[in-house]
Chain A
Amino acid sequence: MKLKTFTMQTLSKTTVELFQHECNIIELLSVGIGIIDSKGNLFRMNNYFERIFHRTKAELEKVNFLDLISDELNQKKQIHEFLQSGSEEKIELDLILHTQSSTKLWGHLIFQKITNLEEDESFYVLQITDITNLKEREISKFDSYQAFNFKQNAEEKEKLKNLIKVANAGTWEWNVQSGEVFFNERWAEILGYTLEELQPISFQTWVNLVHPEDNERITRKIQDCFDQKTEYFEDEARMRHKNGNWVWVLDRGKVIEWTNDQKPLRMIGAHLDIHTQKAQSEIHNLQKAKLENIIIGANYGTWEWNVQTGETKFNERWAEIIGYTLEELQPISVETWLHFAHPDDLIESGKRLQDCFDKKTEYYSFESRMKHKNGDWIWVLDRGKVMEWTEDGKPLTMYGTHLDITELKRNEFEMAKSAQQFKNSFQYAVIGKAIVGLDGRWIEVNNQIANFLGYQPNELKNLTFQEITYPDDLESDLTKLKDLLAGKITHYIIDKRYIHKSGRIVWGKLAVSLVRDENNQPVHFVSQISDIDELKRTEQELNITLNQLQGVLESSTHVSIISTTTEGIITSFNKGAENLLGYSSEELIGIHSPALIHNLDEVLKRGEELSEIYQQKIEGFEVFIHIPKINEYETKEWSYVRKDGSKFPVQLTVTAIKNKSSEIIGYLGIATDISELKKAEHELKYILNLTNEQNDRLLNFAHIVSHNLRSHASNFSMILNALEVEEEESIKEDMTNMLRKASNNLNETVQNLNDVVLINTQIGVAMEPILVKDCIGKAIENLNSQIKYEDASIVNEIDPNLKVYGVKAYLDSVFLNLISNSIKYRSKERKPILKISSEIQENRVQLYFEDNGLGIDTERYKDKLFGMYKTFHGNENARGIGLFITKNQILAMKGQIDVESKINVGTKFIISLDYAN
């Protein structure tokens, strides 16, 4: 039993979970071992408790131990005061236990404080042994009380009275024949009454107060006395106390007077409150007997030693522990013990014995080594007590026990070793480790945690984690803790802030798990904390920087910023990207790659280009990052595709994001919407083209003007010079006609030039939707006579509702010219056919004029076909002005004209104009 106390003392509470293991051993001892706190709450116990109290552990844990004991002996207060005092002393007492069963149970209890616990709270080891049988024997010792030697002489009577007084017994006297009964005041007091309260007193008073079960038995015993079978009776009886409880009294009585016919006349007796009466001398006997009882139950070796004579006795078990029979050890003396004891232990054991002899300690207790027969050193728990003293205060007899604790010792060493290992791994861990109570108190902390939080380990142990958690982070921690206690999770890891002793905030990564006992009840938390303060601060700084950057860029709705992992999964998607692309960041982050917002064809095309350049297959996300991986970044124009499918041009810069070690950890794509830019570029190109075209036309015009006007002027000049020298009249007349013709030609040329100038200066003239088919019909009508003359067939396939933007007069002129040309340059070999059709392409209308005429060598005349004064067929009537005018008119209507032709097959003019839908 002491061993267990010892073990509990030496082990840190951190290994309390190993308790069960010990308990299993303890079970063998038929001793109840439990842990009790200063308030009397039992929270750890072995199964023996269940057997004693006939209750389960769970039930027992709910009650206060003080409620489990009877206060008949007024010991509750004593126990209570002891527990409160925090005394390191041990107390032992015998008391009556409240059990679920009806039988009376006596227990021997030992309370001892568990030392070495760095706790505010005090804990005690409670050992409990059932000593009911012993108690019964003890009671029989009342024989030794002289009070119950019923001698009839006056002297004896007086002595009896005194002894009764000393013994504080209640007395009674009964006239058996008359029925008169007398009690003394003490008799009533034992039951909580005054004598007066019990009046009128009769035999019935006793009958009313005694327990019915006991009444019958005692009545029978009294009858034996009357029949003179016994001299006196003695029994324990339960009597009803005023407070309603049953109290035990020892009731003894004897017939002291007889009638002449030998009937009992007077009987006297005593009631003894058996819980309050304890003669000191009886205790020794009691304890000796008690030890014997324990010894039998627990397989103790025993020894008895007459300290004065050296006479020694061992039991068989004592010898057996060291591998011998008692017989083998004969002759037995104190030398026998000295022979087997370990020499190194003798000094200490001698010292402890001396303490007992000097009454410094009540008990001798020592764990010592003894030589086993097989040569091994075994461990025994040696306990003893001086039971008798000589008159001059010297120890006379000493009794003791040996218990083989070799196995326990080994377990203890191993536990100590594993505890030490645990402690080492705990104390010297790289990261902070702590054992945290269910209430949040730091039970054990290692130096890392202490350093991290700026406290001394002992300072920290006076705090709870709640007190030094940054308030904003407490809630989430506690929520997790609840889940852990509820068994919803086995552990959790969170990043949280602690308040350093200096007041500053420090970031830690906390991992918490829960240790449960064998009954699955939470015991404590094991926490690991790593210092991530610098990491967090760096991260925060980075975030601030990123946020600032983000903030700047967020303000622009035309900048899309998308970051991805190295594999291409989108990790951020800014406001600009949301605005431009119509997706929300939630839809894309962690799910999609930027492929979603790109045009597949463009990506494939770019992939092929890159594959060609780098001579390796480049596809998918690699298309975007292949160059950034090599050159840090790449800027390129792409099309982005909005959520609604529409596209817009962007200039995208893809940058590789690198960490401190220059490893690529992701990519950043910053894209600007260049729609406006592109539009401007298109416009610029258009204007440039227009300018070039106008320049060309101007040049061409200048050339035409100079050339044609000069040709006429030179003709005038030549004719006039010729006329001067010409003598033949007929020729003179011809020349005069030529002069007239030249004049007409000049007029016509000036007229044509004027027309062209008009068309060109009217660029941008207001255009209107014009029904194409009507307009063509009108031209056909105007050319009707020619068409009929040449037997031409004109197929007008234009949709009657088709409208184009144009200038009516120009369109009339264009159609007239094209139809008339197709007739003019018909093939003599076949019937002329002109097919007119249309096609709508997006916002443009293509008009086709396809004939089966002579055709033009487009390779040869491409540049000249629409030029001024260009003729190709040597036709006398060709003026070289029609197509020139036509082209100018079409350009003025923002249209285009083109030609496809094969000689002797036909010509196809293609006009494109804005569609008026």
Chain B
Amino acid sequence: MQIKNVAIIDDDPIFVMIAKRIFEVNQLCDEFHLFKNGQLALDFILEKVNQQQTLPELFLLDINMPVMDGWEFLDALEQIENLPPIKLFMVTSSIDPKDQERARQYKLVKDFVVKPITLEAIQKLID
């Protein structure tokens, strides 16, 4: 196992299932935290931070989601004081350059990955 755990924040069940399978099959990670929208993920993180527990080593964040989308999630995350350093990637089917540019504004975002995601891409994220 290269990493201990990964958080996938995406409302598309197909993407979540395949991505998870890629991690499992390639024994990259065996602990998954899956969130259907930003709000659920934020609640999880806040709780972890409050309890001073470790956060997942890797975050994959989609943009379009109900309740709280990717951008709102990032805005909320930036507001969290004493947030430990995290490794977060935007993973989206958008190829809109505006979205890429917007993503770059957030320091939390390590990179912008366009779906479909491949094993090679995931390995690269882990490294």
Question: Which residues from chain A sit less than 8 Å from chain B, CB to CB?
Answer: 703, 706-708, 710-711, 713-715, 717-719, 721-722, 725-726, 731, 734-735, 738, 741-742, 860, 869-875, 878, 880
List B1-36 residues whose CB lies under 8 Å from chain A.
12-15, 17-19, 21-22, 25, 36
Among candidates A714, A742, A871, residue contacting B115 with C-beta atoms closer than 8 Å? A714
B66 touches A875 (CB 8 A): yes
- Closest chain B residue to A706 by CB distance? B95
* CB-CB under 8 A for A734 and B17, given A725-B25, A874-B66: yes
Give chain B residues whose Cβ lies under 8 Å from the Cβ of A703: 94, 96
Q: How far is the CB of B93 from chain A (nearest CB, A)?
A: 4
Give chain B residues whose Cβ lies under 8 Å from the Cβ of A719: 14, 18
Q: 1/0 contact trace for B91-127 toward A, CB 8 Å?
A: 0011110000000000000000001111000000000
A711 touches B96 (CB 8 A): no
**C-alpha spacing A713/B115, complex, angstroms:** 9
A718 touches B64 (CB 8 A): no
- Closest chain B residue to A723 by CB distance? B18
* CB-CB under 8 A for A722 and B66, given A706-B95, A715-B12, A715-B15: no
11 extra A-B contacts, CB within 8 A, seeds A722-B21, A738-B13, A738-B14: A706-B94, A714-B117, A715-B12, A715-B14, A726-B25, A735-B18, A860-B72, A869-B64, A875-B66, A878-B66, A880-B66
Q: How far is the CB of A870 from chain B (nearest CB, A)?
A: 8
Give chain B residues whose Cβ lies under 8 Å from the Cβ of A872: 66-67
* CB-CB under 8 A for A707 and B66, given A721-B116, A738-B17: no
* CB-CB under 8 A for A711 and B93, given A722-B18, A734-B17, A874-B36: yes
Q: Which 9 residue pairs across A and B have the least CB separation, nearest first?
A: A871-B66, A711-B93, A714-B116, A714-B115, A717-B116, A718-B116, A710-B93, A718-B18, A874-B67
Q: How far is the CB of A545 from chain B (nearest CB, A)?
A: 64
- Closest chain B residue to A703 by CB distance? B96
- Closest chain A residue to B37 by CB distance? A874
- Closest chain A residue to B67 by CB distance? A874
Give chain B residues whose Cβ lies under 8 Å from the Cβ of A735: 18
A714 touches B118 (CB 8 A): no
| A-B contact list, 9 entries, CB within 8 Å | A707-B64, A710-B94, A713-B93, A714-B117, A715-B14, A718-B116, A719-B18, A725-B25, A860-B72
Give chain A residues whose Cβ lies under 8 Å from the Cβ of B118: 721
- Please tell me the size bucket of the interface on B: 20 to 34
- Closest chain A residue to B94 by CB distance? A707
Give chain B residues whose Cβ lies under 8 Å from the Cβ of A871: 66-67
**C-alpha spacing A714/B13, complex, angstroms:** 13
- Closest chain A residue to B39 by CB distance? A874
* CB-CB under 8 A for A742 and B14, given A714-B116, A721-B116, A874-B37: yes
Give chain B residues whose Cβ lies under 8 Å from the Cβ of A880: 66
A726 touches B21 (CB 8 A): yes
B18 touches A711 (CB 8 A): no
**C-alpha spacing A710/B12, complex, angstroms:** 13
**C-alpha spacing A741/B12, complex, angstroms:** 12
Give chain A residues whose Cβ lies under 8 Å from the Cβ of B116: 713-715, 717-718, 721
Q: How far is the CB of B97 from chain A (nearest CB, A)?
A: 11
Give chain A residues whose Cβ lies under 8 Å from the Cβ of B18: 715, 718-719, 721-722, 735, 738
Give chain A residues whose Cβ lies under 8 Å from the Cβ of B13: 738
Q: How far is the CB of B63 from chain A (nearest CB, A)?
A: 9
Give chain B residues whose Cβ lies under 8 Å from the Cβ of A869: 64
A873 touches B66 (CB 8 A): yes
Q: How far is the CB of B35 from chain A (nearest CB, A)?
A: 11
Give chain B residues whose Cβ lies under 8 Å from the Cβ of A870: 64, 66
Give chain A residues whose Cβ lies under 8 Å from the Cβ of B12: 711, 715
Give chain B residues whose Cβ lies under 8 Å from the Cβ of A725: 25
Q: How far is the CB of B113 from chain A (nearest CB, A)?
A: 11
Give chain A residues whose Cβ lies under 8 Å from the Cβ of B93: 707-708, 710-711, 713-714
**C-alpha spacing A707/B115, complex, angstroms:** 10
- Closest chain A residue to B22 by CB distance? A722
**C-alpha spacing A731/B25, complex, angstroms:** 11
**C-alpha spacing A710/B96, complex, angstroms:** 11
- Closest chain B residue to A712 by CB distance? B93
Give chain A residues whose Cβ lies under 8 Å from the Cβ of B36: 874
Give chain B residues whose Cβ lies under 8 Å from the Cβ of A714: 15, 93, 115-117
Q: How far is the CB of A878 from chain B (nearest CB, A)?
A: 6
**C-alpha spacing A711/B94, complex, angstroms:** 8
Give chain A residues whose Cβ lies under 8 Å from the Cβ of B115: 710-711, 714-715, 718
From B12, B14, B25, B39, name the one whose CB has the most chain A CB atoms within 10 angstroms: B14
Give chain A residues whose Cβ lies under 8 Å from the Cβ of B22: 722
List B62-102 residues whose CB lies under 8 Å from chain A.
64, 66-67, 72, 93-96
Give chain B residues whose Cβ lies under 8 Å from the Cβ of A731: 21
B117 touches A718 (CB 8 A): yes
**C-alpha spacing A726/B21, complex, angstroms:** 9
- Closest chain B residue to A880 by CB distance? B66
Give chain B residues whose Cβ lies under 8 Å from the Cβ of A726: 21, 25
**C-alpha spacing A502/B94, complex, angstroms:** 100
**C-alpha spacing A713/B94, complex, angstroms:** 12
Among candidates B14, B96, B117, residue contacting A707 with C-beta atoms closer than 8 Å? B96
Give chain A residues whose Cβ lies under 8 Å from the Cβ of B66: 870-875, 878, 880
Give chain A residues whose Cβ lies under 8 Å from the Cβ of B95: 706, 710
**C-alpha spacing A734/B17, complex, angstroms:** 10
B67 touches A873 (CB 8 A): yes
**C-alpha spacing A878/B36, complex, angstroms:** 13
Give chain B residues whose Cβ lies under 8 Å from the Cβ of A710: 93-95, 115
Give chain A residues whose Cβ lies under 8 Å from the Cβ of B15: 711, 714-715, 718
- Closest chain B residue to A731 by CB distance? B21
Q: How far is the CB of B92 from chain A (nearest CB, A)?
A: 8
- Closest chain B residue to A722 by CB distance? B18
Among candidates A741, A874, A875, residue contacting B14 with C-beta atoms closer than 8 Å? A741
Give chain A residues whose Cβ lies under 8 Å from the Cβ of B96: 703, 706-707
Give chain B residues whose Cβ lies under 8 Å from the Cβ of A718: 14-15, 18-19, 115-117
**C-alpha spacing A712/B126, complex, angstroms:** 25
Q: How far is the CB of A856 from chain B (nearest CB, A)?
A: 11
**C-alpha spacing A742/B94, complex, angstroms:** 17
**C-alpha spacing A209/B36, complex, angstroms:** 165
**C-alpha spacing A869/B65, complex, angstroms:** 9
**C-alpha spacing A871/B67, complex, angstroms:** 7
**C-alpha spacing A758/B77, complex, angstroms:** 41
List B38-67 residues whose CB lies under 8 Å from chain A.
39, 64, 66-67
Q: How far is the CB of A655 from chain B (nearest CB, A)?
A: 53
**C-alpha spacing A205/B116, complex, angstroms:** 174
From B13, B72, B116, B117, name the one whose CB has the most chain A CB atoms within 10 angstroms: B116
Q: How far is the CB of A903 from chain B (nearest CB, A)?
A: 13
**C-alpha spacing A335/B38, complex, angstroms:** 155
Give chain A residues whose Cβ lies under 8 Å from the Cβ of B64: 707, 869-870
**C-alpha spacing A365/B23, complex, angstroms:** 162
Give chain A residues whose Cβ lies under 8 Å from the Cβ of B117: 714, 718
Give chain A residues whose Cβ lies under 8 Å from the Cβ of B39: 874
Give chain A residues whose Cβ lies under 8 Å from the Cβ of B94: 703, 706-707, 710
Q: How far is the CB of B122 from chain A (nearest CB, A)?
A: 11
**C-alpha spacing A717/B96, complex, angstroms:** 20
**C-alpha spacing A103/B15, complex, angstroms:** 158
Q: How far is the CB of A712 from chain B (nearest CB, A)?
A: 8
**C-alpha spacing A871/B115, complex, angstroms:** 21
Q: How far is the CB of A283 from chain B (nearest CB, A)?
A: 145
**C-alpha spacing A734/B96, complex, angstroms:** 31
- Closest chain B residue to A710 by CB distance? B93
- Closest chain A residue to B62 by CB distance? A711
Q: How far is the CB of B42 from chain A (nearest CB, A)?
A: 13
**C-alpha spacing A703/B64, complex, angstroms:** 12
**C-alpha spacing A717/B22, complex, angstroms:** 13
- Closest chain A residue to B19 by CB distance? A718
- Closest chain A residue to B36 by CB distance? A874
**C-alpha spacing A880/B72, complex, angstroms:** 18
**C-alpha spacing A710/B118, complex, angstroms:** 15
From A713, A718, A869, name the one whose CB has the most chain B CB atoms within 10 angstroms: A718
Q: How far is the CB of A249 from chain B (nearest CB, A)?
A: 151
